[in-house]
Amino acid sequence: MTVLDFAHVTKIYNVRGAGQMKALDDVSFTLQSGRTIGLVGQSGSGKSTIAKILTQLERPTSGDVLLDGAPIPQRGQALRRYRQQLRMVFQDPFASLNPYHSIRYHIERPLRLDGVVPAAQTEAEVRRLLERVRLDPQTVIDRRPHELSGGQRQRVAIARALASRPKILVADEPVSMLDVSIRLGVLNLLADLQREEGLGVLYITHDLATARHFSDEIIVLNQGRIVEQGTADDVILRPQDPYTRELRAASPDPEKHFAAQSPTGGLR
């Protein structure tokens, strides 16, 4: 059981000419393997900052991030090992894949760099990973990203993230740039993989509906502060915080809309 502890993290940026900006204010949560936390927030809420801190692109101004009780290393081999454990899937399936290289190259790289399997087994492992994300290796392995659809590209990104056998997966708006009809497919894939690999998943999104269905627990961020935290159903169906209530009221909900319109469920 792996545990990621985000403990009382505060992040302050110094902006020249405008003083200080607090991106995160005393944010704490715990992510365990096998569980999904939905991190819900609008732009400016700080959710991207959390992703950056987890992937060590930024350091917290104060507070700790602990993986299995140990603080995240700052440099060297230890940092590399940490990075193997925590992988990220990005929002834009086109931008996160290098258009110059083949799919094989994309998935081979983490395998080679992290020495996950012996060199002789690399090709087999690449194919295995592609099958895990429900892509046909034969068709896809030699293609370049622009020859695949958005959904396929995102699956490749997921395969790449899984290559180093991480314990934690950070998914930053993984489906918001995909076509509507394939979004659930990709989310279901993530859910399956999580179950099979026992991953802890941090699902960052602005969309409450998918957060509710995909997460066990939901954290609502508003301007760098956690305003609500609880099980998915509790937060969405019985929100306590006024901001969460506002978010819920603002999200399109045809079910509620039509029920309110015509209680008889018939004519307008």
Partner 1 sequence: MTAVQPQLTEPIEPGRDALDVGTTATRAVHGRSRVPWRFLGSRALFYLFTLWAAITINFFLPRMMKGDAVTQYLARNRNVSPEAADALRALLGLDTDKSLLQQYLDYWSHLLRGDLGVSLLHGLRPVTEVISQALPWTIGLVGFATIVSFTIGTVGGAVIGWRRGSRLDALIPITTFLSTIPYFWLGLLAIAVFSVNLRWFPIGKAYGVGVRPEWSLEFIGQVIHHGTLPALTIVIASLGGWMLGMRNMMLTVLDEDYITVAQAKGMPNSRVLWRYAARNAVLPQIQSFALSIGFIVGGTIVMEMVFSYPGIGKLLLDATNAKDYALMQGVFLVITISVLVANILADVAYAFLDPRTRQTEA
Partner 2 sequence: MPGGSGSPASFLHESDTMTDTLLSVHDFSVVYDVEPPVAAVKNVSLDLRRGEILGLAGESGCGKTTLAYGVQRLLKAPAVITSGSVVFHDASGESIDVNGLDPEQMRRFRWDKVSMVFQGAMNALNPVAPIGAQLEDVFDVHRPEMSARQRRAEVKELLEIVKVGAQRIRSFPHELSGGMRQRVMIAMALALRPQLMVMDEPTTALDVLVQREILRQISQLRHEFGFSVIFITHDLPLLLEISDRIAIMRDGEIVELDTAERIWTHPKDEYTRTLLSSFPRLTGERGVVVR
Q: Which residues bind partner 1 (CB under 8 A)?
A: 13, 15-23, 42-49, 52, 91, 172-173, 176, 204, 206, 223-224
Q: Which residues in the 9-38 window bind partner 2 by CB under 8 A? A: 36
Binding mask 95-134 for partner 2 (x = CB under 8 A): ----------------------------------------
What is the Cα–Cα distance from 248 to 215, expressed in whole angstroms? 16
Question: If DSSP states are collapsed to H, E and C, what string results for 2-64?
Answer: CEEEEEEEEEEEEECCCEEEEEEEEEEEEEECCCEEEEEECCCCCHHHHHHHHCCCCCCCEEE
Interface with partner 2 (CB under 8 A), residue from 15, 119, 120, 180: 180
Please, which residue, 176 or 188, has the CB nearer to partner 1? Answer: 176
Interface with partner 2 (CB under 8 A), residue from 7, 12, 66, 191: 191
Residue 179 sits in the site that holds partner 2 (CB under 8 A): yes
Interface with partner 2 (CB under 8 A), residue from 43, 77, 138, 264: 43
Cβ–Cβ < 8 Å for 79, 65: no
Number of residues forming the site for partner 2 (CB under 8 A) = 43
Please, which residue, 45 or 164, has the CB nearer to partner 1? Answer: 45
What is the Cα–Cα distance from 166 to 78, expressed in whole angstroms? 15
- Residues in CB range of 34: below 8 A, 6 or more apart: 1, 194, 195, 198, 199, 200
Q: With contacts defined by CB under 8 A, name the span among 11-19, 97-105, 125-133, 242-250 that binds partner 2.
A: 242-250
- Residues in CB range of 66: below 8 A, 6 or more apart: 3, 4, 5, 7, 72
What is the Cα–Cα distance from 12 to 16, expressed in whole angstroms? 13
Residues of this chain that bind partner 2 (CB under 8 A): 36, 42-43, 179-181, 183-184, 187-188, 191-192, 195, 206-210, 212-214, 216, 232-233, 236-237, 246-258, 261-262, 265, 268
